[in-house]
Structure 1
Amino acid sequence: MDDKLADEPARLAALRRYDLLDTLPEPAFDRITNIVQSALQVPISAVSLVDTDRQWFKAQQGLDTHQTARDVSFCAHAIGARDVMMVPDALQDDRFAGNPLVTGPPHIRSYLGAPLSTPDGYNIGTLCAIDTVPRAFDERHQDVLENLAALVVEEFELRMIAQRDHLTRVLTRRGFLAEADRVLQAGGGALLLLDIDHFKAINDTFGHPAGDLVLRAVAEQCRAVLSGRGLVGRIGGEEFGVVLNQGDCAMRVAEELRAAIAALVIPHEPPLSVTASFGVAMATADLSSGEAWLAKADIALYAAKRTGRNRCVLNHSV
């Protein structure tokens, strides 16, 4: 068996590098699932990412859910091979005959899934076509799905290149603002803007390589503390932003991040430690863009720095 198909920890690491799980819909992937529906004449199509214990849909047509358990997922079987997986009749297949997705909604009877294989060879999910009647998909259908699956992975790669800061591996300013725009459109949420206190002194005293160590450590600490609750971006220099889908816990999360950064001991000779100041702004109806939201958080950040640093300030304006 292909070693990379059997290496589940490495496969999950490859999936997480793209930072796609639990992100909002994006037109590029919706267009591809629409093409699958039209070209293969199926009622259901999806870009499915197979996580530890679930499959999550980055895009889907004909489904009323964004995820299912992994143990009932057809796609979890499809990622175990390099070729397209076809199930002409689920009720005649021992693997799926008793599956609740077959015996109940959405009543899957036939399935075609092309693995989403990363450039380094890990299958992180599938592009799939599903029908509610038995059917054998022909060679042309399989070729179409494989080609579109390759386009999905290319979109993943382009998205990562355009949106990832090369030093810290968090979102670029552009990528962060795109996420902020999507959260605003969805309603609710909060934006945190943080600035590393006295960062210039680190560069002046220890040099820019030490400054880079600090930036990477702060970015990684933010990601670890958030643990999927929000996305981190490098806004510029020593400034980072965090966008949360839920706003009601914003100040608590900001305090968690502030304390975690203050507790960091960054390997260096001598070891380095830093603090950060935070400005917090809630999503409000008057905000027209991520840029406007960022500016609102920046007002609160300035207040945090002016009143002593290493603290979190909420912008109370509506």
Structure 2
Amino acid sequence: MKEPVTNDEAGRLLALHRYCALDSVNEPNFDTITSLVQDLLGVPICAVSLIDSDEQRFKSIQGLDLTHTAREVAFCDHTIRSPGPMVVPDAEQDERFADSPLVTGEPHIRAYAGAPLTTPDGYNVGALCAIHRRRHDFTPGDVELLQRFAKVVVDQMELKTLAHQDFLTGALSRRAFTDAAVRALSQLRPMNRSATVAVLDVDHFKQINDAHGHPVGDKVLQAIGNCIGRELRSSDLFGRLGGEEFGILFYATTRAEAWRCAERIRRAVEAIDLPDVPRATVSIGLAHVDSEHSLEQALAEADTNLYLAKREGRNRSVDSGSGETSEAA
């Protein structure tokens, strides 16, 4: 697992949204973990907390009847900003928390220990926390136990994510991609940031299947999926929209940056040279997304530009809005 990334909030939010974990409240698997930690540490409150842009959401909580709090008062918001666990033996003596409404009022938090939920790509998306209503010195063993169970929580989220992934290419399913993209765009708009959507299609894929058979066609899709994944940033979204068609959300990028990345992907796919895998190329249509456009509108525009790329000879990228059209090598 990578070292935690604590200075990339946009990437952190995107990592959180990939899990599609904010749409429901409690998760039974997490309830088992928080109940066990509560018993092992002898604490009255234990929770799995996820930190969204302005809210703390509890995916499981023992000892309190809460589903969320404001992010600004969340102890776990401090935990995710740290490279490791955070321990507060006495919140009333800690200037960060002494005046917090969670300390001065219900639930009267006095002692806190939190282990960050660190994703495989290094983002702290939340915390597993144990809470006392009295002063308490958590031992190193207590903190180690929290860390171990925090890893189990992340493993559970990763397993759940597999249900939203395309097994062959590693891309998100169409539904998971569009859901995550909508949430990602909603985070960009308040920051006056934009994004670019790309739709990619494998050129002459039916001919590859007809000439070599579907198992070989699957190898082509797998190689292309792996290639695209290597070229993207961790903050970008990559989904399989259906068949040989893929979608990408270039997150928080300028139109020019997204264009360069699309061209890099196109050339990288063209250069794939693997045994028993026929050479293939992709055509790409791009569309800019800002506060005036929905994801649906952007995908429709990108699809239109993909059609133009096909009509103009394939193995090229088109962004009609910027006037960019690449020439195949």
What TM-score does the superposition give when structure 2 sets the normalisation length? 0.61
Amino acid aligned to 2:253: G
Equivalent residue runs for 1:179-190 within 5 Å: 179-186=180-187, 187=189, 188-190=194-196
Amino acid aligned to 1:256: R
Q: CA RMSD in A?
A: 4.7
Pairwise CA distance, 1:167: 1.7
Q: Aligned residue for 1:68?
A: 81
Q: Aligned residue for 1:171?
A: 172
Residue pair 1:214, 1:266 contacting (<8 A) in 2 also? no
Give distance in 2, aligned partners of 1:225 and 1:152: 25
Give distance in 2, aligned partners of 1:27 and 1:295: 27
Equivalent residue runs for 1:242-257 within 5 Å: 242-248=248-254, 249-257=257-265
* CA distance 1:235–1:65, change in 2 (3 Å): farther
Equivalent residue runs for 1:121-200 within 5 Å: 127-129=128-130, 134-135=135-136, 154-161=156-163, 163-186=164-187, 187=189, 188-200=194-206
- Consecutive unaligned residues of structure 2, counting only runs of 5 or more, are 5-10, 35-42, 59-70, 99-108, 120-124, 139-147, 323-329
Give distance in 1, aligned partners of 2:240 and 2:207: 20
Matched-pair identity in %:
34
Residue pair 1:28, 1:155 contacting (<8 A) in 2 also? no
Aligned residues: 254
Deviations 1:191-210 (A, max 9, x none): 11101111111111111011
Equivalent residue runs for 1:70-85 within 5 Å: 70=83, 73-74=84-85
2:41 paired with 1:23: no
Pairwise CA distance, 1:127: 1.5
Q: Aligned residue for 2:101?
A: none
* CA distance 1:65–1:310, change in 2 (3 Å): farther
Give distance in 1, aligned partners of 2:57 and 2:223: 29
Pairwise CA distance, 1:21: 7.8
Q: SS where residue 190 of structure 1 aligns?
A: strand
Amino acid aligned to 2:22: A
Q: Aligned residue for 1:295?
A: 300
Pairwise CA distance, 1:295: 1.3
From 231, 239, 256, the equivalent of 2:245 is: 239
* CA distance 1:104–1:277, change in 2 (3 Å): farther
Deviations 1:161-191 (A, max 9, x none): 1x11122121011111112211221232111
Pairwise CA distance, 1:110: 3.9
Amino acid aligned to 2:171: V
2:211 paired with 1:209: no
Pairwise CA distance, 1:244: 1.5
Q: Aligned residue for 1:16?
A: none
Give distance in 2, aligned partners of 1:67 and 1:115: 6
2:94 paired with 1:89: no
Amino acid aligned to 1:28: L
- Consecutive unaligned residues of structure 1, counting only runs of 5 or more, are 1-7, 13-18, 49-56, 76-86, 92-101, 119-123, 138-145
Pairwise CA distance, 1:291: 3.0
Q: Aligned residue for 2:311?
A: 306
Q: SS where residue 282 of structure 1 aligns?
A: strand
Pairwise CA distance, 1:301: 0.6
* CA distance 1:135–1:65, change in 2 (3 Å): closer
Residue pair 2:197, 2:249 contacting (<8 A) in 1 also? yes
Amino acid aligned to 1:166: F
Equivalent residue runs for 1:89-128 within 5 Å: 89=89, 110-113=111-114, 127-128=128-129
* CA distance 1:156–1:20, change in 2 (3 Å): farther
Q: SS where residue 224 of structure 1 aligns?
A: helix
Amino acid aligned to 2:182: D
